[in-house]
Structure 1
């Protein structure tokens, strides 16, 4: 995490979002809930979020207010 992203806080813990999130979708993950979580992190300042779905053999790369990139098995 870049230092300039660290908020000034009087709390004992940092209130921040990581620059990069890497998620691997499990069988129990529900897509709408997972996508909502991803969007919330992007809105909080996460720069890049990568979601890997082993079942569909895809990887999604998301950035705030940009079109999502979907890579399939032959693209990697």
Structure 2
């Protein structure tokens, strides 16, 4: 009986870990999408004369930092 409970506990823990990993991936994708949107808005504002190159560069740097930390899977 103890072996069964140990296996069930291990399986439940694996499921929890997989769920946490998937949640982290989804959150990273959402954050990447938000940063990409901010970059687009900054670039558009710059082209329209309402923004500055510095704002665009800050948005690009934030996006590049996110990609370095989490990968670029959200771009595909």
**TM above 0.5:** no
- TM-score by length of structure 1 reads 0.32
- TM-score by length of structure 2 reads 0.32
Structure with greater Cα Rg: 2
Which has the higher relative contact order, 1 or 2, with Cα contacts under 8 A spaced 6 or more apart?
2
Greater strand share, structure number:
1
